[in-house]
Structure 1
Amino acid sequence: MLTSAAVRAAVFDAVPGGYRTGPVDEALVRAEEELAALERAECVRAHGAAAWRARTDELAAVLRGRLERPRTQRFRRPARVRTRGYSVAHVDVLCERVAERLATGTGPDAAAVREAVFPPAHGERAYEEQQVDAFLDRVVEYLLAVR
């Protein structure tokens, strides 16, 4: 069964003469959002609204656990000093905005999180890209779940 998570994880290699990214990305976003809505409706139908709230509460707790870590300590550093990662300062700014969203309901939506771009950094000024990307996937999952 195709899921919103599978659509979110889809990656296509850029090749000369390949597809135009804009229309494909827009179609993937629409598919992800529609699948997330269907998943929510199916869970509520099968298990009730309380089960869906419990699921979103669990996901929010996981996100808060990461967000409550001190600035500059939210994610691992790249294993090697010369390995490129995401700028700690820029990732932390987005994390603070996501924390605001969880606390108050105001802050970035799923589109803003999906479109986030961080300058490259190295060593202690960088977070490991894969760990940040996995966290941001969970943020998008949560934001779609509570729409």
Structure 2
Amino acid sequence: MAGMFDTVSGMKKGYDIDEVDDFFQHAREVYEGVASEPLTHRDIHTCVFDVIRKGYDTDQVDAALNRLENAFVAREKQLILTQRGPEAWSATLNERAQTLYPRLGRPRGERFAHPKGSGYSIEEVDNLCANLVKFFDGKLRVTASELRAITFGAARGKNAYEEASVDAFMARAIEVLLGVE
């Protein structure tokens, strides 16, 4: 699988080639049913690679990860539709979406924990949450691609939300949106 992506020039940094190649090889084996270890769309969404000189182009790898995540969600959807029918897929999406509602119902500034150091801008995260509420109310169109493209500004202390919690929330929101797209 070596050489899947372009590498960056010597002075730039990119993703560790061996880590990326190993991950995509494992993903291929899981997708084809050869590997016994599980791999989910959430694992794909949250994977992290070391950044090194002369590594793989990060934009290319990130785009491939998005396509891979899409493929895993589509495969899961097809499997559920085939085995249990459209009602089961709707129930699955509804269950996943409901895990987002408690945070969306919290007041602005109180949706996630505040870090001791730096984190994501409360205002920006809360604006995204407001848009998700509008999406679930049928008043705004939001796509998984739009969520993936969001980069929250940095903030500190009481002006910030803890990054890991927001990232996990975003992964679930993307999962739900992929399921309805």
TM-score, structure 1 length as denominator? 0.92
1:69 corresponds to which letter in structure 2? R
Match of 1:93 among 104, 123, 127: 127
Q: Which of these residues, 27, 30, 48, is aligned with residue 11 of structure 1?
A: 48
* Residue of structure 1 equivalent to 2:10: none
SS of corresponding position for 2:120: strand
Larger RCO of the pair (alpha carbons < 8 Å, separation 6+): 1
Residue in 2 that maps onto 1:34: 71
**Which structure 1 residue ranges, 4+ long, deviate > 4 Å from structure 2?**
none
Q: Structure 1 residue 6: deviation in Å?
A: 2.1
C-alpha distance in 2, partners of 1:135/1:59? 11
Q: Distance in 2 between matches of 1:105 and 1:34?
A: 28
Paired residue type of 1:102: F
Letter in 2 for 1:107: R
* Structure-2 separation of matches of 1:52 and 1:13: 36
CA distance in 1, matches of 2:66, 2:146: 12
What amino acid sits opposite 2:99 in the alignment? V
Give the C-alpha shift of residue 5 in structure 1. 2.0
Structure 2, unpaired ranges of 5+: 1-29, 31-38
Structure 1, unpaired ranges of 5+: none
Residues paired across the two proteins, number: 144
CA RMSD in angstroms comes to: 1.3
Counterpart in 1 of 2:4?
none
1:37-48 alignment, distance < 5 Å: 37-48=74-85
CA–CA separation in structure 2 for the residues paired with 1:142 and 1:105: 17
- Secondary structure in 1 aligned to 2:137? helix
Query: When you count helix as a share of all residues, which structure comes out higher?
Result: 1
TM-aligned CA deviation for residue 122 of structure 1: 0.9
Displacement of 1:117 after TM fit?
0.9
Q: How do 1:63-78 and structure 2 match up within 5 A? A: 63-78=100-115
Residue matched to 1:129 = 163
Could you report, residue by residue, the CA deviation over 1:6-55 in whole angstroms, capped at 9, with x for unpaired residues?
A: 22122111111111011111111111111111110101111221111111
